Structure 1
């Protein structure tokens, strides 16, 4: 009779070897990111400066606390950004996050009304420059005709005619003031005719909603909030516009009258800088 075996010859339950717990062997998302950062010789400050993710959020993610991210979309974007900064593949981390938090968020279909609005023909205002040129030419012609007609009256008469015509040349001057309407929120046509001495950025959300932040060249906050589906915001500055897109895949950009065709992924956090002239991504 053998000791420690059950009647059927198998070892008792208490003496069976424990099964390998593969999940326990794999480090958590935060621990994997922290371990990769240490192996890369980077500090939390280094990662924050490289990704522009706040230091507090980096610390929270490394402790597997995703609440400060503000939602699953932003958490996935931060995980992807941090993984790339410490030179590891973000895909396994994102898959694990989705498995632990109810799956990946479904993309929202594009809004057809926005597509129709985007192709509307541009409306043009009156051409005040041409009107000014025509008025000046008419005045110069009238003065010349008057001077020639009064040539027989001597130099005094010519002087009087010239002096009398002086007020008429100044009459068209107030006209350009009519062409200065204040438009704090330029429309699509204003974006298409964006002034070259400024940078004009239009941010639209045709495919869903996204948190965005915009600052001018002085660091002054122009907007910080949620852009709902179908909404758009337009920002202008003399030098540059700094943008942070919480879900770049849901955003469409027009910069200085040109559409930005970068293929941003859903849930991807992007930090962009645009200046005057051709669009340049910072």
Structure 2
């Protein structure tokens, strides 16, 4: 079965509406409907999509890992159709073709000789004018018009499996400090770095730049790690 069919069938078997699920999971009903209809473009970003899918599946008591794997396979599916076959026709040679080839070669030789004669005859007469110097102001304007490279930010999504005290520092600023409950999701975005400290390392799934990371530690273990753009 497809991802959407699995989610919708399980929800309907429990007699739940999308609004009921929204109240329990805090995921908006339109995103839940997008997951069931597999309209992933309606969800803002792959990290959000995988986080919503994981939380929805856990709420329905479905193992989320097979659904996440199936989603990634669909997202990375490419068209592998073979390239068109181009047939090559062998050239047709004839005596007429050889005559035209000889005439073309003769015209080419005469043309090259004429151009060379004109070039060397006028070389000493024509002196190209020197290029005007570039002023400092023109040079500065040229540098200012050069577009700056666009830097991509780093993203992180925290998905609670168990209750966990969590502290997140983004680019040196404290963004969140408190309890992350089971089934709760927090999203962060940074230019350079995200520093994470967990009081229950095994109780939180870390999704960094759309990729699920290995656990930082076991349940009940305190752990911390800094994620930077350079790796």
TM-score, reference length from structure 2: 0.41
- Larger proportion of strand: 2
